[in-house]
Amino acid sequence: MKKKDNIYNIGKNLGLEKTDIDNVLSAKSRTTEIANTPAVDVYKAGTRYGTLSSKELYKAGTRYGVASQQDIYKDGTYYGVISHKELYKAGTRYGTISPKDLYKSGNFYATISPKDIL
What is the smallest separation between the CB atom of 74 and another protein, expressed in angstroms?
15
CB atoms within 10 A of CB 79: 13
What is the smallest separation between the CB atom of 91 and another protein, expressed in angstroms?
12
What is the smallest separation between the CB atom of 67 and another protein, expressed in angstroms?
14
Name every residue whose Cβ is closer than 8 Å to that of residue 46 and which is 6 or more positions away in sequence.
Answer: 52, 54, 56, 57, 58, 60, 62, 64, 65
Residue 59: Cβ-neighbour burial (10 angstroms; 0-12, 13-18, 19+):
middle
CB atoms within 10 A of CB 72: 21
Looking at beta carbons only, is 31 or 55 nearer to another protein?
31
Looking at beta carbons only, is 44 or 107 nearer to another protein?
107
Binding interface with another protein (CB under 8 A): 2-4, 6-7, 10-11, 13-16, 20-21, 24-25, 27, 29-32, 34-35, 39, 47-49, 62-63, 77-79, 81, 83-84, 87, 93-94, 98-100, 102-103, 106-110, 114, 118
